[in-house]
Amino acid sequence: MKTTTKSLARPQSKRGKYSARLSNTLALGNHESFRTDDNFYRMLVESLVGYGIFTTDKEGGISSWNTGAEKLFGYSEKEIIGKNASIMLRPKDADMAQLQKELKTAAKKGKFTDERYHVCKDGSHFWASGLIFSLGDQKDVARGFTFIVRDLTEKTEFEKRKDAFISTATHELRTPITSMKLYAQIAEQEIIKTKNDVSIQSISKLNKQLDKLMNLMDYLLDIAKLQKEKLELKKTIFDLNMLIADTLTPIMSVSPNHLIYQDGVIKEKIFGDRERIGQVLTNLLTNAIKYSPNANKIAVTCKLVGRNVVISVRDHGLGIPKSEQSAIFGRFYRATTAIDNKIEGIGLGLYVAQQIVLAHKGKMWLESEVNKGSTFYFSIPRKAND
Interface residues toward another protein, by CB under 8 A: 171, 174-179, 181-183, 185-186, 189, 210, 214, 221
Closer by beta carbon to another protein, 131 or else 177: 177
Q: Nearer Cβ to another protein, position 184 or 240? A: 184
Which one, of 341, 346, 349, 300, lies nearest residue 320 by Cα? 341
Q: Which DSSP string corresponds to 268-317?
A: S-EEE-HHHHHHHHHHHHHHHHHT-TT--EEEEEEEEETTEEEEEEEE-S
Pick the closer one to another protein by CB: 92 or 193: 193
Nearest CA-CA partner of 339 in 329, 326, 324: 324
Shortest reach from residue 171's CB to another protein, in Å: 6
Question: Cα–Cα distances in Å, from 186 out to 175, 189, 358?
Answer: 17, 5, 43
Classify burial at 314, counting beta carbons within 10 Å of its beta carbon; exposed 0-12, middle 13-18, buried 19 or more.
buried
Phi, psi (degrees; rounded to nearest 5) at 235: -85, 135
Least Å distance, CB 224 to another protein, is 12
Toward another protein, which CB reaches closer, 81 or 213?
Answer: 213
**Nearer to another protein (CB atom), residue 36 or residue 178:** 178
Phi–psi pair at 12, nearest 5 degrees: -95, 130
Least distance from another protein to the Cβ atom of residue 191, Å: 13
Residue 178: CB minimum distance to another protein, A: 4
220 and 351 in contact (C-beta within 8 Å)?
no
Task: Output the smallest distance, CB 156 to another protein, in A.
Answer: 23
Tell me how far, at minimum, the Cβ of 207 lies from another protein, in Å: 10
Under 8 Å between Cβ of 62 and 81: yes
Judged by beta carbon, residue 173 or residue 370, the one nearer another protein is: 173
Cα separation, 78 vs 76, in Å, equals: 5
